[in-house]
Amino acid sequence: MNSPTHHVVTWVEDDALQARHFCDDDCRDAWDDER
């Protein structure tokens, strides 16, 4: 998780914190979500 290419997206959904981890920019770009 301490990699410079690692990304985390967080958001609140239904009053709960959600998080999604990505290993690199390509993985993040492939995630088809508006967050």
Residues 1-35 pLDDT 10s: 567 878 888 999 999 999 988 888 888 888 877 65
The set of long-range contacts for 12-15, using a CB threshold of 8 Å and a minimum separation of 24, is: none
Quote the pLDDT of residue 15.
Answer: 96
- Quote the CA–CA distance of 26 and 17 in Å, as a whole number: 24
Query: 14: domain range?
Result: 1-35
Total domains, the chain: 1
- Quote the CA–CA distance of 30 and 33 in Å, as a whole number: 9
Q: Is this structure's pTM higher than 0.85?
A: no
Quote the pLDDT of residue 35.
Answer: 57
Residue 19 is which amino acid? A
Quote the pLDDT of residue 2.
Answer: 67
DSSP bridge pairs for 9: 20
Quote the pLDDT of residue 11.
Answer: 92
